[in-house]
Structure 1
Amino acid sequence: MSSPHAGARIERAIEAAGLSQRALEKATGISQSTLSRIVSGARPAKMPEIAAIARAVGATVAELAGSGSVAARVQCAARATNGSDMQRMRETLLHYLELDAYLDDQAVPATV
């Protein structure tokens, strides 16, 4: 499911988060040897692995999988009357939209 360049994106995200593969292993439960194979491109990352890595390094699934950023496709406007931080509101909205896109990709039905 991941693109051929997901390993390089994952490696950059791990470095940007200041984590070692061993630290990421502890945070995700994905063995260091599997992480090494994913980063090197010897093994494609499965979507649940990408999701776990994204959560651990503070990235989105789309950023790591290379499926295109929802942020690049979405336009939003908001108004806060309670002094809320608009950037934080946008980031929260984008995380929910990324999750929605991921669930759509995985054919997980929406609940009502």
Structure 2
Amino acid sequence: MTVTTTSDRIRRAREAAGISQRALEEQTGINQATLSRIESGARPAKMNEILSLSWALGCTVAELTGRSNVRERVECAARAGDAGSMEGVINELTFYLELAAYLEDQGIPRPA
């Protein structure tokens, strides 16, 4: 199993969103040089920066930090198909469970 750092997660989320560091600077107000240092692991991201990045990149704080109360409670009994991996299945499941928990915390009702 590969250890993934917060800096790796931030870089991968930015790349997956198809956003350059310059564009992310405009959306978050975080200087591009600072973003570069965060992504390289030379400087840890502060929580307010992680919050801004999660909004701009369309992901959760848990996805960027790798720390999730939901993920720690997830037990997955599934079989990954030929095109995927069990880690991918768990990541996808965790994303939706975290989103559901977030919406519940915000008082947003489930659709009927």
TM-score category of the 2 structures, normalised to the smaller one: 0.5 to 0.7
Give runs of aligned pairs for residues 58-77 of structure 1, distance below 5 A. 58-68=58-68, 70=70, 73=73
Which residue matches 1:52? 52
How far the C-alpha of 1:33 sits from its partner, in A, is 0.4
Work out which structure has the larger RCO, using CA pairs closer than 8 Å and 6 or more positions apart in sequence: 1
Q: CA deviation at 1:95?
A: 2.4
Question: Unaligned regions of 5+ residues in structure 1, if any?
Answer: 75-88, 100-112
Q: Deviations over 1:29-49 (max 9, x none)?
A: 000000000000000001110
How does 1:88-103 map onto structure 2 within 5 Å?
92-96=99-103
Residue 40, structure 1, aligned to residue 40, structure 2: yes
| 2:19 is equivalent to residue 12 of structure 1 | no
Alpha carbons 1:70, 1:98 under 8 Å: kept: no
Which stretches in structure 2 are left out of the alignment for 5+ residues?
75-95, 107-112
The DSSP-based 3-state class of the residue aligned with 1:51 is helix
May I ask how many residue pairs the two structures share in their alignment? 83
* In structure 2, C-alpha distance between the alignment counterparts of 1:67 and 1:36, rounded to whole Å: 22
Q: Which TM-score applies when normalising by structure 1?
A: 0.63
CA deviation string 1:21-75 (max 9, x = no partner): 000000000000000000000000011100100010011001101113625637x
Root-mean-square deviation (Å): 2.8
1:84: which partner in 2?
none
Q: 1:15 to 1:98 in 2, by over 3 A?
A: farther
Under a length normalisation based on structure 2, what TM-score does the superposition of the two structures give?
Answer: 0.63
Query: Residues 92, 64 of structure 1: CA spacing in aligned structure 2 closer, same or farther, 3 A cutoff?
Result: closer
Once residues 70 and 37 of structure 1 are traced to their aligned partners in structure 2, the CA distance between those partners, rounded to angstroms, is 29
C-alpha distance 19-6 of structure 1, shift in aligned 2 (>3 A):
same
Is 2:27–2:56's contact at 8 Å kept on the other side of the alignment? yes
Over the matched positions of the two proteins, sequence identity in percent amounts to 55
